[in-house]
Amino acid sequence: MSEIPTTIHGLLAAYRRGQLTPIEVVDHHLAHLARVEPKLNAFAVVDRDGARQAAQHSTGRWQRGDRVGDLEGVPITVKDIVAMAGLPTREGSKVTSELKALVDSPVVARLREAGAVILGKTNTPEFGWKGITDGPAFGTTRSPWNPEFSPGGSSGGAAAALAAGVGVAAHGNDGGGSIRIPASYCGLIGLKPTFGRVPQAPVESPYATLVANGPLARSVEDAALLLNVMSRPDIRDWHAIPHQSGDWRIGLNDGLRGVRIGYTERLGGAAVDPEVRRACRSAVDRLAIEGYDVTELDEVIEPLRPQFEAYWKAGFAHRLRTIPAPRHNDLDPDFRKLAEEGLDVTVAEIDAAYAARARLVARMRRLHLDFDLLITPTMPTPPPRADVVYHSSVFDRWDHAVPFTVPFNLTGQPAASVPVGMSGLGLPIGLQIVANHFREDLILRAARLLLDLLAWRWPDPNLARRIAVLQA
């Protein structure tokens, strides 16, 4: 069997040449998954039978020349926070139903329609509530770069699996940084699209207007292709924006001449670790050296904790009210504590948060009158240890997890993380690229340019050696 390509585009090219078949590729990924999963704990459930059956059908379609879509035979994973017919949706929790979903969520439906082969559902913290991945139902997920460290969250299982070589792309979703955080910690490209770009259902949560589904990928081309597929319309989402036909891959090589770029390391008072600052500044300096229009900015926005902490807790309280009291002891104790505090949040506090959100959107729209792109570190610090206590003095939510990411969930803007360096411990560091609403094209162009300037390629030889150790 030929060597298995590590990107979607490489894999599809091998299929077209007849060098590989989907069943060969999926069997390879399932075998690799079995070797690394004991060390990573990236999956809530592995759908071996379903994946092999889908791969057999896809192999037949390639052989007959009647492939169904742009991801025909591509092995991918789905985060266990959206519905996938035939499997339960546990959301990292012991209190959710074990019944199998009857229908696919919009993003899963689009992936299947495009011919993707879903290997299984990846681990997430309970209800996706935190920026690391551990929980009462499926335990702690670890980074393939070093299992002593966290891959981030809440799409931590997705990122850990993809970085470890399981699947060639991954689905994640992002309500406060949950695609971009693990992309940064795992050395991947993670794109949170404009709110409403990728349909979702149901949309009943108080956080519904913060959440966007999107891709984790190993190349910008792959991320763009996945956005093509994921953004196709679905009538179940009344928040969805009008579908934009076309191909997000067009124009990736157009560069950033004439694009005005603002850079800040102090968004909302965030304090950045020196290693992160060096890596991010080096990448931005490279843009300036190449003659691109880069301006250094100050804080841009005010700290968000005073404006939105009550709103954050109130959303947890909403979920707590849906869970029978006898089951509360089965919850993540830290989630339960915050949710119980949220029971006391008043309508006035919620109204104040909505008003603050409107002001934040207005502030960012004013910024985009002067700057087409805003660039920041994705995370203020390198990855924490896997056993870190979330929202503690060691790893505070507002200070250490989401100061650079959550503003753009509140505004609904598109944002992506791209890998730009390594910490002293050999762990990845990401840079965040933000654009105005509906301008994913600018983000993708910037990501492509930056990674080309930095000569970034997948796979990283250091990661390859570490994965070999995981398999031992």
- Which amino acid does the sequence have at 402? V
- Alpha-helix residue ranges (DSSP H) falling in 385-439: 407-411
Residue 403: asked if its preceding bond is cis (omega within 30°), the reply is no
Query: DSSP letters of 366-383?
Result: HHHHH-SEEEEES-SSSP
Region of residue 269 (phi > 0: left; psi between -120 and 50: alpha; otherwise: beta): left
Contact at 8 Å (CB) between 215 and 169?
yes
What are the tokens at 433?
Answer: 């690229």
Residues paired with residue 430 on neighbouring β-strands, in sequence order:
419
Contact at 8 Å (CB) between 212 and 174?
yes
Residues paired with residue 377 on neighbouring β-strands, in sequence order:
431
What residue has token string 């011919």? 115
Contact at 8 Å (CB) between 454 and 257?
no
Contact at 8 Å (CB) between 186 and 151?
yes
CA distance 71 to 66: 13
Burial of 235 (0-12, 13-18, 19+ CB in 10 A): exposed
Look at residues 316, 308, 310 and name the one whose alpha carbon lies nearest to residue 403. 308
Catalytic residues: 79, 154, 178
Indicate the SS3 state at residue 113: helix
Residues paired with residue 272 on neighbouring β-strands, in sequence order:
none
E strand intervals along 390-468? 415-422, 428-435
What residue has token string 């931590």? 156
- Count of alpha carbons within 13 angstroms of residue 359, beta-carbon side: 13
CA distance 27 to 36: 15
CA distance 331 to 325: 11
- Which amino acid does the sequence have at 122? T
- Count of alpha carbons within 13 angstroms of residue 130, beta-carbon side: 27
* CA 151 from centroid of its chain's CA atoms: 11
What are the tokens at 268?
Answer: 């909302």
Contact at 8 Å (CB) between 186 and 162?
yes
